[in-house]
Chains A and B, each alone.
Chain A
Amino acid sequence: MNAYRLLCRLRLVLAISSAVVLGLLTWNLVQSRAYDPLEATRLEQMQLRLAANPKDEALRNELRALDRQVRERHFHHRRVALRGLALLAVLASLLVALHAGAETLRPRAFTPEPDAASLLAESRARAARGAYLLALALAGILVVLATIGRHDPLAQYARAGMRPEAPGTPDRAPITPDEPIGQATLPPADPTVLGPPPLVGSLPVSPPATRLEPVAPPPAGARNPSTPERPSPGQRSLPSLEPCPPAGLEAEWPRFRGPAGNGVATATPPLPGRGLKVLWKVALPLPGWNSPIVVKGRVLLAMADPSRREVAAFDAKSGDALWRTPIAYKEPPPKVSQDTGYAPSTMASDGQRAYAIFPDGLLAGLDLNGGVLWTRSFGPLENQYGHASSLLCHGENVIVQLDQGSDPEERKSRLLCVEGATGKTVWQAERAVSASWATPVLVRVGGRELLVAIAPPLICAYDPRSGEEVWRVSGLGGEPAPCPTFDQHRVYAGNLGSYLFAIDPSGTGDLTRTGVLWDTSDYLPDIVSPLAFRDSVFLIGPDGTLACLRATDGTLAWEHRIGPTKASPTAVGDSVWLITDSGRLLAIVPGSAYRELGAMELGEVVRASPAFVGDRVYVRGQDHLFCLGP
């Protein structure tokens, strides 16, 4: 038998084998249709019956058994299909290879082409007609598209939207914009304070808070950098912003991201890798991703697991455990994601007391010796990952951001000011926003204190003494966890899935059109708060890319990949300190290019932002609390 015949026979065997596998796969496919969980009608009927009679335990158990059976069979068929497909792919590959080999060896008889040149000439004469037919077909398609576009209601709206003034009713639109959109449920705006009146068609934006004066709805525009209404950076004089740390705690670390909450430290530790070493390290008894705070020589932390809530204090000099206080609670453990944990919120202190909040809405006030002064429960909170906003103090009061829910119109969200000594509410502002994981920040603008809080769809500034809304910028989206921050002239807020806004906070009312200096949708952080320092804004994206934007216009100065990071950056002296998830602590120069000054490894997972006091750095790792210093 020659090689050609052998290959032909092998090819036949493979073809038959492939056909058999093909048949079995088809049979398996037909069978699997009967066990599709999405189309299991019996299962669906049982679910309806159970919904009608939820206490029928027998039916519930029967439903679970059937659900399991359907899923097991479905995935069994799926496994068979995948293995069969792999086998079929192998057989098909062999078949193709054998066929190619057989074709190569196939004896060919030489038969000269009758007249290749004349055939080509004839074919080419017809090819020109074919090309024109193609052009005709394309013209036909374009005519159809043009006809569709001509009668598209969108074109009417677009023409209306293109007018520089407020769009009126389109000429002959089947849908009139006035009709559905003009349902203005909002109070009329004061044009002298709030800028131009709302355009027809603005979305209804609910009045912001119980104590607030009516604020105009967000007008159009202002988010796109090319929007003509936006003032260019050089056209306006920017206000001077000042931090508002708690009195007497300017050199301490009384809240998340330092005394002013903007990630700027007054400490002077040696640089990592250049004299910074581990002074002490203590094991933490319970988990928690919150950051340490340092007040009056104590390092305070919140810790929790599904069954315990605790606050612990360590001696800042020696690391000795000073006290551990369990916080009593009644609520069942909330549903939280692994990244959130049961103690994600950083504590806050006013120098006399310390405050902690947990994802179930349990707020506790303690004295600095570990005694529980009061507790309040705001839970359960509707939050898909678990409440994680941290606390801050204003005078002797505690500010609590309790944004929750998925629909801003449900008005479940609140911003509270609680008396530190008693836990009683001083003021409360209802917020028409959905859930947020960010922490507010306090900033002084022209002698006026502002409390800036963010949650979709708003960036709002409140008077921290009364809870009255001062200004707002709408357009925030996504799931904000990065905190707002500020530098000498601007407030910055934004997160992944939305934009980063640079805002001039000196105005009042709706600043969506007039107050946004620039925005960007690049390099946005998912978890990590931005740092505004020395005319730069540092962002760390979810992929671990550190980006440095120019504060003046938001353009990129440089970027560098540092690896996955959850801890927020801190400005220490002339450098910016970062710590990655793997525990690599590094300091960089806030200059025109990425340059490391030094680095060291802690050898432990770190997600909390470090605290900087004096010449020491306090870092909370996954299992240990570290104190670094000279």
Chain B
Amino acid sequence: MRKSAWVLVGIAATLSAQGQEQKRQPPPDFTSGYQLPSPTTPVPKDALFAWIDVGVLLVALVLAAWIVLCRRSRAWLLVLTGFCAAYFGFYRLGCVCSVGSLQNVALALADPSYRLSVSVAAFFLLPLLFALFYGRVFCSGVCPLGAVQELVLIRPIRIPEWVAGPLGLVPFLYLGLAVLYASAGAGFVVCRYDPFIGLYRLGSSPLMAWVTGLFLAASLFVGRPYCRFLCPYGALLRVASWFASKPARIAPAACISCHLCARECPYGAILPPSPERELVPMHELRSSLARRLGATVPLILLLAALGWFAGPAMARVHPKVALAAELALSRAQPDAPKSLAVEAHLRLGRSDEEVWREAATILKSFRLGAALFGAWAGLVVSAYTISLALRRRRREYVAEPGTCLACARCFASCPVLPQGDRP
């Protein structure tokens, strides 16, 4: 078994190494009169495809919910996962996807002149809507990014809660960052640094090819590292799933607390029943709750203040700010080679002041945005720590709706039979 694992690690590394071969070759130096063909503008596919995508998404979500909740079959779910990876991933090349759509929505909310297409809005809303009823069925077999990780997970390693819990906050921070950059018009960072898109498009930059390789290698042993510890849309689904009215239930009848399901879950999403006698005394819980509540406001203010000061540096990702920075550098060092953006600026005949004025406006708005991001981070951390100090009673093994990815592994391990199947 370990040999197979190492072979797969090697495959992942080789794939990422081959990704470096994507660099373009220069055209040959023809002197024979050969004319290079003119580039043509490809005609975009008809808008009908956008509606087909929405239709496929809707059908896939319905199927996923039915398989998880009614059929309770992992094999069927794997078939659906394979189809969604093939359609949304390889055929539609991973775009539009629900994960990236949150940036379109953020930009549309921030910039009234940006028009949000109905299909993108549907990709954003439909999985959230299903999560409100059935939990994260989108993650279970529809998301093409999750599909890759799900299919290569061969030997899951259990990550302890004290590591997985704090790491699970990273998606919320990434969500804040993605919203900040998208709404400021600085670009869609989630799409730009999507680790699996290169796999579906069979090509990416060398850096992202290595990132893809690393994520694939990690996915062999860690259950869905991207979905659990990075995906910003997963953060939204997690929140929506907390309110799910009909989430997946592990045992089809009364749970016998055999612990088999918890051992089978690679995501650490299954929580054991509460002990008869509380392990932590109530007064300790109360005091830690008071401490954490007291730390909330200072933490939010501290991170907001730091965000305010860090805003200008964070804005350097914005193309207009990057141009202003390169322009400043080229003005300071006139003999240094100029970037393409600076050359384009010079050819356009715009004044430097106009560029700096635009950059200054963006820097100013980024200060506020980064401060809000800092406050958001403080709020997320505080809310998590407070939730740890709250006591909830569980009578049986339950899948925590926010972290359960509805992968259907636990169903097969549960020895409890449905009432109709009992002898």
Residues in A lying within 8 Å of B, measured CB to CB = 11-12, 14-15, 18-19, 22, 25-26, 29, 32, 37-38, 67, 71, 74, 78, 81, 85, 88, 92, 95-96, 99-100, 103-104, 110, 112-113, 116-118, 120-121, 123-135, 138-139, 141-143, 145-146, 148-150, 152-155, 157-162, 166-167, 174-175, 177, 179-181, 199-203, 205, 218-221, 223-224, 335, 337-339, 385, 407-408, 434, 456-458, 474-477, 498, 526, 542-544, 561, 563-564
* Cross-interface CB contact of B385 among A128, A146, A339, A434, cutoff 8 Å: A128
Q: Are the CB atoms of B347 and A130 closer together than 8 Å?
A: no
CA distance A434 to B311 in the complex (A): 39
Minimum Cβ distance to chain A for residue B305 (Å): 9
Q: Are the CB atoms of B347 and A408 closer together than 8 Å?
A: yes
CA distance A26 to B328 in the complex (A): 45
Minimum Cβ distance to chain B for residue A102 (Å): 9
B102 contacts the other chain (CB 8 A): no
Q: What per-residue 1/0 map shows which CB atoms of B128-169 lie under 8 Å from chain A?
A: 000000000000000000000001101000001111011101
Whether A134 touches B170, Cβ cut-off 8 Å, given contacts A162-B360, A201-B352, is: yes
B244 contacts the other chain (CB 8 A): no
Whether A175 touches B328, Cβ cut-off 8 Å, given contacts A131-B165, A149-B310, A167-B356, is: yes
Q: A113-B272, A118-B275 are in contact. List 16 more A-B contacts (CB 8 A).
A: A15-B3, A22-B10, A25-B14, A37-B26, A121-B279, A127-B166, A128-B388, A132-B385, A135-B303, A139-B303, A143-B306, A153-B329, A154-B321, A161-B354, A161-B355, A167-B353
Residues in chain A near residue B169, CB distance under 8 A: 131, 134
B191 contacts the other chain (CB 8 A): no
* Cross-interface CB contact of B166 among A96, A133, A166, cutoff 8 Å: A133
B286 contacts the other chain (CB 8 A): no
CA distance A149 to B314 in the complex (A): 8
Binding site secondary structure of chain B: helix
CA distance A281 to B187 in the complex (A): 52
- Report how many A-B pairs have Cβ atoms within 8 Å: 288
8 CB contacts below 8 A, A to B, read A22-B7, A22-B10, A133-B166, A135-B378, A150-B309, A153-B328, A218-B350, A542-B41
B21 contacts the other chain (CB 8 A): yes
Q: Are the CB atoms of B332 and A339 closer together than 8 Å?
A: no
Whether A457 touches B303, Cβ cut-off 8 Å, given contacts A71-B28, A131-B166, A145-B314, is: no
Q: What per-residue 1/0 map shows which CB atoms of B36-69 lie under 8 Å from chain A?
A: 0110010110010000000000000000000000
What is the chain A residue whose CB lies nearest that of B334? A180
CA distance A593 to B271 in the complex (A): 58
Q: Are the CB atoms of B279 and A118 closer together than 8 Å?
A: yes
Instruction: Enumerate the 7 nearest inter-chain pairs by beta-carbon distance, A residue then B residue, closest first.
Output: A161-B356, A130-B166, A146-B309, A149-B313, A457-B349, A145-B310, A126-B162
B282 contacts the other chain (CB 8 A): no
Residues in chain B near residue A135, CB distance under 8 A: 299, 303, 377-378, 381
CA distance A143 to B43 in the complex (A): 47
Residues in chain B near residue A203, CB distance under 8 A: 346, 349-352
Minimum Cβ distance to chain B for residue A412 (Å): 14
CA distance A43 to B385 in the complex (A): 63
B189 contacts the other chain (CB 8 A): no
B348 contacts the other chain (CB 8 A): yes
B312 contacts the other chain (CB 8 A): yes
Residues in chain A near residue B161, CB distance under 8 A: 120, 123-124, 127
CA distance A475 to B346 in the complex (A): 10
B18 contacts the other chain (CB 8 A): yes
Minimum Cβ distance to chain A for residue B147 (Å): 12
* Cross-interface CB contact of B28 among A67, A138, A158, A407, cutoff 8 Å: A67
Residues in chain B near residue A129, CB distance under 8 A: 162
Q: Are the CB atoms of B363 and A29 closer together than 8 Å?
A: no
CA distance A86 to B184 in the complex (A): 41
CA distance A29 to B20 in the complex (A): 11
Q: Are the CB atoms of A22 and B14 closer together than 8 Å?
A: yes
